[in-house]
Amino acid sequence: MVPTAHYLILGAVLFSIGSFGVLFRRNAITMFMCVEIMLNAVNLTLIAYSRSLQQVDGQIFVIFVMVVAAAEASVGLAIIVVLRKRQGTLDVDSIDNMKW
């Protein structure tokens, strides 16, 4: 059986790659996909712990995360489509409407 530590290391690596992408890529869609990678890294970690602790709590959390991620994807993609229409770009550095 694959030891739990391996799953955790894989999860950490995936999370780091995801966060690196969120921080340093400028394309909104890429950033969005990186967020998905981070979420799934967390999911992986949760399931690994769930297995090693012999408890189902982690798996339940994963279902919740997947539900939220699905909702987020639909809303987030809608926002990105609108942004593209309005601003004509997906370069996040040129979108600073949040700054007052």
Partner 1 sequence: MLDSFPILLLFPLLGAAICGLAGKRLPERAVGAIACSAVFASFLVAAASFFELLGLSPEQRVRVVEAFTWIQAGDFASSASFLFDPLSSLMILVVTGVGFLIHLYSMGYMQGEDGYYRYFAYLNLFIFMMSVLVLADNYLLMFVGWEGVGLCSYLLIGYYFKERFAGDAAKKAFIVNRIGDFGFLLGMFLLFSEFGTLAYLDVFESVSALSPESGFGVLSLITLLFFVGATGKSAQIPLFTWLPDAMAGPTPVSALIHAATMVTAGVYMIARSSALYSRAPDTLLIVAVVALATALLSALIAVAQRDIKKVLAYSTVSQLGYMFLACGVGAYTAGIFHLMTHAFFKALLFLGSGSVILAMHHQQDLFKMGGLRKYLPWTWATMGIATLAIAGFPFLSGFFSKDEILWEAFSSPYGGPAFYAVGALVAGLTSFYMFRLMFLCFHGSERIEMGEHHGDDDHHAQGPEKQAHHDAKPKEPGMVVLLPLVLLAVLSFIGGWVGLPPWLAETNQLHHFLEPSFQYKYSLAAAGEHHGDHTAMELTLAGLAVALGLVGFLVAYWSYIRDPELPQRVSTRFAGAYQLMRNKFLVDELYDALFVHPLQWISRNILWRLMDASIIDGLVNGTAALVQIFSQMARRMQTGYVRSYAAWVLFGTVLIFVFYFTS
- Per-residue x/- track, 31-70, partner 1 (CB under 8 A): x---------------------------------------
Is residue 74 a contact residue for partner 1 (CB under 8 A)? no
Residue at 70: amino acid letter: A
Binding range to partner 1, per CB under 8 A, among 46-54, 63-71, 78-86, 90-98: 90-98
Long-range residue pairs from 25-31, CB within 8 A, at least 24 positions apart, any chain: 26/91, 26/92, 26/93, 27/90, 27/91, 27/92, 28/80, 28/83, 28/90, 28/91, 28/92, 28/95, 29/80, 29/90, 31/92
Minimum separation from the CB atom of position 83 to partner 1 (A): 11
Write out the residues near partner 1 by the rule CB under 8 A. 19, 22-24, 31, 92-93, 96-100
